[in-house]
């Protein structure tokens, strides 16, 4: 007994569902617009519909989108039902390799005949059978206008990436990403280097088992789009983020942090394309605040900004791999830093809220203390500021301010963001005198304020304010006497506490450009 073909229901151009089997004989014609052999066959399919449509369902099952299907119908004068298989589920269910594929089935859905590509003899035989089924005289066809044979084209359902997605959908797997097969003799680690999938260090091969395990770290759907990633403007699904998190060495419980960080950097406000492509060498630095720090074992104490902690290292690395492998931001391509720094591989740490005398960064930025938040700031590399002598907040605050004057250039004032990481011993000194973050910011602004005349470029240092900026007459005396602080405003000085309890060495990360062409810090709540 002939097995029944897969049943399906597809919409026609009017949105009406056409269900197979329908109880009538059916001629199912799978086509796509960019296949010349499909276009060659369309007039014969239309002729079959006109002649035999009273007794046989003659349907074109098109693999193209709605606009292409409409154009196809107009150009070829099609009056037959043109069904929407742009999702390719039916093409996959019928295990197509080639289009056109022409299938004749009886009223119960059993296959009577099938041919692939174009052969004049196949069509002549088919018309004779349709005439026998319908009792209708076959139409007059100028067969001399047709070639004896033409090969078909590959079905869209077997294209790389699409075939894997369809297979995953049919099996219920959440994975849709294209799989790469390598030879047994190939070294998988060398293969990933050769394919440009790494940051210069080895990565963990993202096997389906590891990616599925990683997806267990979030409640979000695997095919949810997290962000559109520049410069490729490519959609980064949760699955693709998970793939790169596996490669970076993350645990599943880190995945929500990576997702939130990606959401943050892909905002217009942060401007990740500008950050990645600037010659300055800025890169996203991640500061994690809230309960998740403890839950996933992030380091906020000894060597907080350094190596050795899996969560700190791999969360930052996973973000950078997504930007590289999904967004297409790669060195020597769109990434053009003059020097760069290792933070372009990973730059991530946790705020030591419990050791801080002040409210944490995420609370300052409008979140609740019990919420977990990641804040991303475009920064250059860190610079340590030593003061092992000061015992009063006023003196220590002055040392910190003077240490910040070197950022960008000592004469570059009225600057934007700075990320100031205060070590616990320095935090204790400031707290003993009752200083708040606002007090420290104000002290930094006062001690770094310089008359504009001292900030002008000159023979000793061309960098600084240029006289030409003030017009032909140059700056006035009043302008030259104006005090200019290092930072545009105290709100651009972002303060957190982290580091060892031993050592009076705080650290700062200089920011990048502000404004429409620059980058602004962005915070995102971390959701499971």
pLDDT, residue 174, reads 85
Farthest-apart Cα atoms in the chain, separation: 106
For residue range 108-154, list pLDDT tens digits in order. Answer: 999 999 999 999 999 999 999 999 999 999 999 999 999 999 999 99
* Global confidence as pTM: 0.74
pLDDT, residue 477, reads 93
pLDDT, residue 171, reads 76
pLDDT, residue 175, reads 83
350, pLDDT greater than 70: yes
DSSP codes, 224-275: -EEEEETTTTEEEEHHHHHHHHHHHT--GGGHHHHHHHHHHHTSTTT-HHHH
- Mean pLDDT over each residue of the chain, to the nearest integer: 95
**Exposure string over 326-355, b if 16+ CB within 10 A, otherwise e:** bbbbeeeeebebeebeebbbbbbbbbbbeb
For residue range 482-491, list pLDDT tens digits in order. Answer: 999 999 999 9
1, pLDDT greater than 60: no
Residue 329: C-alpha distances to residues 232, 257, 275, 375 (Å):
8, 21, 10, 21
pLDDT, residue 169, reads 77
CA pair distance 374, 348, nearest whole angstrom: 10
2, pLDDT greater than 80: no
Locate 157 and state its tokens. 């359902």
Least confident of 207-211, 316-320, 483-487: 207-211
Report the pLDDT averaged over residues 369-379. 98
The residue among 437 and 175 whose pLDDT is bigger is 437
pLDDT, residue 185, reads 87
CA pair distance 395, 400, nearest whole angstrom: 9
Report the pLDDT averaged over residues 241-265. 98
pLDDT, residue 360, reads 98
pLDDT, residue 45, reads 98
pLDDT, residue 482, reads 96
CATH of domain 8-159: 3.40.30.10
For residue range 157-179, list pLDDT tens digits in order. Answer: 999 778 877 877 787 788 888 77
Q: What is the DSSP letter of 4?
A: B
For residue range 278-304, list pLDDT tens digits in order. Answer: 999 999 999 999 999 999 999 999 999
Report the pLDDT averaged over residues 39-59. 97
pLDDT, residue 116, reads 98
CA pair distance 286, 255, nearest whole angstrom: 14
For residue 497, the surrounding DSSP H or E stretch is strand 493-497
For residue range 438-485, list pLDDT tens digits in order. Answer: 999 999 999 999 999 999 999 999 999 898 888 888 899 999 999 999
Q: Where are the domains of the chain?
A: 8-159, 190-456+476-525
- Picking from 424, 397, 418, 435, the residue whose alpha carbon sits closest to that of residue 505 is 424
């Amino acid at each position: 007994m002939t097995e029944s073909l897969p049943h399906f229901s597809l919409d026609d151009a009017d949105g009406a569902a056409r269900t197979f089997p329908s109880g009538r004989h059916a001629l199912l014609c799978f086509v796509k617009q960019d296949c010349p052999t499909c276009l060659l066959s369309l007039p014969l399919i239309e002729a079959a519909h006109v002649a035999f449509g009273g007794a046989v369902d003659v349907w074109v099952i098109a693999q193209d989108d709605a606009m292409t299907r409409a154009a196809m119908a107009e150009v070829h004068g099609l009056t037959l039902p043109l069904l929407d298989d742009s999702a390719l589920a039916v093409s996959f269910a019928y295990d197509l390799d080639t289009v056109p594929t022409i299938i004749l089935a009886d009223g119960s859905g059993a296959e009577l005949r099938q041919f692939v590509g174009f052969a004049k003899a196949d069509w002549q035989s088919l018309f004779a059978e349709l005439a026998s089924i319908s009792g209708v005289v076959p139409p007059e066809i100028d067969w001399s206008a047709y070639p004896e044979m033409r090969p078909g084209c590959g079905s869209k359902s077997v294209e790389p990436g699409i075939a894997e997605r369809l297979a995953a959908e049919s099996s219920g797997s959440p994975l849709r990403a294209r799989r790469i097969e390598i030879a047994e003799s190939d070294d998988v680690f060398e293969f990933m280097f050769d394919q440009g999938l790494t940051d210069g260090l080895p990565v963990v091969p993202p096997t389906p088992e590891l990616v599925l395990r990683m997806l267990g770290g979030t409640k979000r759907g695997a095919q949810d789009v997290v962000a559109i990633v520049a410069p490729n403007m490519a959609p980064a699904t949760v699955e693709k983020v998970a793939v790169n998190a596996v490669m970076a060495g993350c645990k599943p419980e880190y995945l929500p942090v990576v997702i939130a960080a990606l959401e943050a950097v892909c905002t217009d406000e942060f401007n990740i394309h500008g950050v990645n492509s600037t010659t300055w060498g800025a890169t996203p630095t991640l500061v994690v605040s809230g309960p998740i720090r403890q839950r996933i074992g992030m380091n906020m104490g000894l060597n907080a900004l350094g190596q050795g902690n899996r969560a700190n290292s791999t969360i930052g690395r996973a973000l950078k791999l997504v930007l590289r492998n999904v967004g297409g931001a790669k060195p020597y391509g769109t990434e053009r830093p003059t020097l760069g720094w290792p933070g372009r591989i990973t730059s991530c740490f946790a705020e030591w809220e419990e050791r801080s005398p002040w409210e944490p960064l995420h609370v300052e930025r409008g979140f609740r203390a019990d919420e977990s938040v990641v804040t991303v700031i475009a920064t250059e590399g860190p610079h340590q500021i030593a003061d092992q002598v000061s015992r009063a907040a006023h003196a220590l605050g002055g040392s910190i301010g003077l240490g910040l004057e070197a950022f960008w250039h000592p004469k570059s004032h009225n600057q934007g963001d700075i990320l100031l990481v205060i070590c616990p011993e320095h935090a204790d000194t400031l707290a003993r005198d009752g200083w708040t973050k606002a007090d420290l910011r104000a002290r930094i602004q006062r001690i770094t304020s310089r008359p504009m005349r001292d900030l002008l470029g000159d023979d000793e240092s061309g960098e600084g304010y240029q006289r030409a900026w003030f017009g032909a007459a140059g700056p006035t005396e009043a302008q030259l006497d104006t005090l200019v602080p290092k930072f545009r405003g105290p709100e651009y000085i972002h303060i957190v506490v982290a580091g060892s309890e031993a050592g009076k060495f705080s650290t700062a990360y200089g920011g990048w450009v502000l404004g429409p062409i620059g980058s602004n810090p962005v915070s995102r709540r971390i959701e499971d």
